[in-house]
């Protein structure tokens, strides 16, 4: 079995989902085939209406080592949440 095909990350937008969501990864020789493979591997059970594929090498990820300096400082800043405002009831998805 060949291991030469590059890795792609797959994002699917569900029927009622608002955003594309990462669902997994796969191998494919090029972007067009990656899209088709994603259709076959990740939307077999009627999950999606739109697919994005991204070369895994194009993703720059944060490192677990940097978890504390990256994320801990926001842990005590409750004022950044919009909970101090009155939200109109007819505004969805806020």
Partner 1 sequence: MSFDNAYESLLGHEDAHWAFGTGFSEALSGVNREFPPGVDREALAAYCLMLGDDALIFSQRLSEWCSRAPELEEDIALANIALDLLGQARMLLTRAGEVLDRDEDQLAYLRDEREFRNVHLAEIDCGPGPGGDFGTTIARLLVFSSWRLALFSRLRGSADPVLAAIAEKGLKELAYHRDHAAQWTVRLGDGTDESHRRMQAGLARVWPFVDELFATHPVETRLAGVAVDPASLRSEVDGVLEAVLNAAGLTRPADTRAARVAGMAGRDGVHTEAMGYLLAEMQHLHRSLPGAVW
Residues in the site for partner 1, rule: CB under 8 A? Answer: 1-2, 5, 12-17, 21-24, 26-30, 32-33, 36-37, 40-41, 44-48
**Residue 83: CB minimum distance to partner 1, A:** 17
Tokens of 62: 């944060």
Rounded to the nearest whole angstrom, what is the least distance from the CB of residue 12 to partner 1 in the complex?
Answer: 6
Helix, strand, coil share of the chain (percent; to 5): 35, 25, 40
What does the alpha-carbon distance between residue 69 and residue 89 come to, in Å, rounded to a whole number? Answer: 37
Q: For residues 17 and 6, is the Cβ–Cβ distance under 8 A?
A: no
Closest distance of CB 8 from partner 1, Å: 10
Residue number, 32 or 68, with CB nearest to partner 1? 32
- Residue with Cβ nearer partner 1 (14 or 55): 14
Nearest approach, Cβ of 77 to partner 1 (angstroms)? Answer: 21
Do residues 48 and 14 lie in contact, with contact meaning Cβ atoms separated by under 8 Å?
A: yes
The residue among 46 and 83 lying less far from partner 1, judged by its C-beta, is: 46
5, 55 in Cβ contact below 8 A?
Answer: no
């Amino acid at each position: 079995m060949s291991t030469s095909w590059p890795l792609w990350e797959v994002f699917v937008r569900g029927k009622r989902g608002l955003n594309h969501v990462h669902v997994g990864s796969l191998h494919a020789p090029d972007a067009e085939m990656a899209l088709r493979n994603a259709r076959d591997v990740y939307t077999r059970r009627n999950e999606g209406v739109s697919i994005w594929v991204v070369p895994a090498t194009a993703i720059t990820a944060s490192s677990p080592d940097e978890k504390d300096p990256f994320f801990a400082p926001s842990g005590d800043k409750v004022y950044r949440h919009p909970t101090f405002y009155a939200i109109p009831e007819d505004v969805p998805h806020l």
